Structure 1
Amino acid sequence: MELESANVEKWVDLGTEYGLKILGAIVIWIIGSWIIKKMKKGIASVMTKQNYDESLQKFLLNLIGWVLKILLILTILSQLGVETTSFAAILAAAGLAIGMALQGSLANFAGGVLLMIFKPIKIGDLIEAQGELGVVKEIEIFTTKMVSPTNKEIIIPNGTLSNGNITNYSTEGKLRVDLTIGVSYDADIKQTKEVLMKVLTDNPQVLQDPAPSVNVSELADSSVNFAVRPYATVADYWDVYFGTIEKCKLALDAAGIEIPYPHSVEIHKDA
């Protein structure tokens, strides 16, 4: 009789002990899940205000959600009396192995995150990076796609892109067109400058702020060279570039100003 009473008391104690642990685990799960939900909502709100890319928002929120849930599960297991040290060590070892195997991909992912957070470039920008020039077509998690002036698709890994130099021609919204026009040494410099400047001021695609400029840049072997510097929007850059060259030639011809070409002199020595 005493033995049966002792067994009953033992089971009651065990039931009470583990029942309280299970109840505590349930409470921790409910409260923890509620906190995770609120945290994700707050982080999403901050990302939206900071204009984070939508794809980046979804990815980061899912990643944060899984990390917080794993921490919550470890807390619950600890509450139930399960040894979590070895479990955490296994997770760390697995994470290290995966990280080593996917080292390049993780670097590209990190680069993509940096590009989307700090936004040194955006879709539609004309940029030069890694020796390539093109318009940004798409910024993905691992790679960035560009379209070259010859309509070729260029794909650059984000890790390489984020760690290298990027020249963004679209940031300021205005580009300077650098041209060199050479005229004969017999030409009047003042008249030539007036003719070239008129070509720039008469072109509606040439911006007046910053103002265009025409200056003597070099006294070359067979010509006086002028630095012709109009400004244009990114969209009008090539129209201004090619159009200015053509219009300068026509204007100089109309003004009777010669555009010289290289000359060669042959010297014959009599026997």
Structure 2
Amino acid sequence: MSESVEQTVQTVIDFVAMYGLQVIAAIIILIVGFWFAAYSKRKCHDLLMKSPNVDEMLAGFLATLVKYIVVAVTVLAVLNKFGIETTSLIAVLGAAGLAIGLALQGTLSNVAAGVMILFLRPFKVGQFVDIGGVSGTVKGVSLFTTELATGDNVQILLPNSRVWGSAILNYSAHATRRVDLLMGIAYDDDINKAMAVIEELAKADDRIKQDPAPVLAVGDLADSSVNIIVRVWVNASDYWGVRWSLTKSIKEAFDENGISIPFPQQVVHHVNASADTE
């Protein structure tokens, strides 16, 4: 028993004597490498954000990529400290990566789609988009998923392959948007008077642009109403505020001017076909 303990202790002493400096150096390399990786990520992100052509989404991706490259170089340096042939290891990892890639084609398609999204930038962080019927504010894009937040702050994670393969509606891409309303009035009401009321409201709201000028037109003669099309241009950030307030203002102005907004109704003719036979 004592001989076994002595052999174990001697083995540990021999290992420390032979590899002690390498172990210490490897630990130092790991600590410095991981610190430098985090520092490089932060510094790269700050530098990229100073460029007007780089947005938050792309800067975050490139900074993370730099971090992983530094980590990979650190790990290879540590392995080299112990005399491990890194070229052979890289070849083995390459072959393993190919096998894993074939098994995870769906995952790799998300990575490829993520790269396309990050470099072609169909949307940016903070913009409101609709992707294949899913709407929300863009919070970020990683290599595998795109994160959205709904209006009530529910998180949505979409696979990048689905994002890249779907129609993307970006409601925040342009500085201005058009508000479209359809207001119905009764057939007995004065169309010109109703349009004049709406026009005055559009001129009175500073958020509504006068160039291009608001458009008012009779859209169609519906079953129960004459439908007036209202189209005004606003800043994208004012879209919902103008839409809601203009709808409310039109209703109140119609009430003040004796213009009614009819509800669906049907005219029924009753024919009394009673036949008295004697």
Alignment TM-score, normalising by the size of structure 1: 0.69
Structure 1 runs (4+) deviating above 4 angstroms are 62-69, 86-92
- 1:155 correspondence with 2:157: yes
Q: Paired residues, what number?
A: 218
Q: What pairs up with 1:157-196 in 2 under 5 angstroms?
A: 157-196=159-198
- The amino acid across from 2:59 in the alignment is E
Q: Residues 123, 89 of structure 1: CA spacing in aligned structure 2 closer, same or farther, 3 A cutoff?
A: closer
- The amino acid across from 1:170 in the alignment is S
Report sequence identity in percent.
37
Match of 2:202 among 185, 189, 200: 200
Q: Residues 107, 66 of structure 1: CA spacing in aligned structure 2 closer, same or farther, 3 A cutoff?
A: farther
Distance in 2 (alpha carbons) for counterparts of 1:209 and 1:102:
53
Q: What pairs up with 1:19-98 in 2 under 5 angstroms?
A: 48=48, 49=51, 50-51=53-54, 53-61=58-66, 90-98=92-100
Secondary structure in structure 2 of the residue aligned to 1:178: strand
Distance in 2 (alpha carbons) for counterparts of 1:134 and 1:66:
34
Q: Could you list the per-position Cα deviations for residues 27-75 of structure 1 after superposition, in whole angstroms to 9, with x for gaps in the alignment?
A: xxxxxxxxxxxxx9xxx79x94552623322343356678999xxxxxx
Distance in 1 (alpha carbons) for counterparts of 2:220 and 2:162:
40
Q: 1:99 aligns to what?
A: 101
Unaligned runs of 5+ in 2: 1-39, 75-84
Instruction: Give 1:126 deviation, angstroms.
Output: 1.1
Q: 2:121 aligns to what?
A: 119
Match of 2:216 among 214, 217, 232: 214
Alignment TM-score, normalising by the size of structure 2: 0.67
Unaligned runs of 5+ in 1: 1-39, 70-81
Distance in 1 (alpha carbons) for counterparts of 2:172 and 2:131:
13
Distance in 1 (alpha carbons) for counterparts of 2:128 and 2:238:
12
Distance in 2 (alpha carbons) for counterparts of 1:164 and 1:266:
48
Q: Residues 265, 234 of structure 1: CA spacing in aligned structure 2 closer, same or farther, 3 A cutoff?
A: same
Instruction: Give 1:113 deviation, angstroms.
Output: 1.9
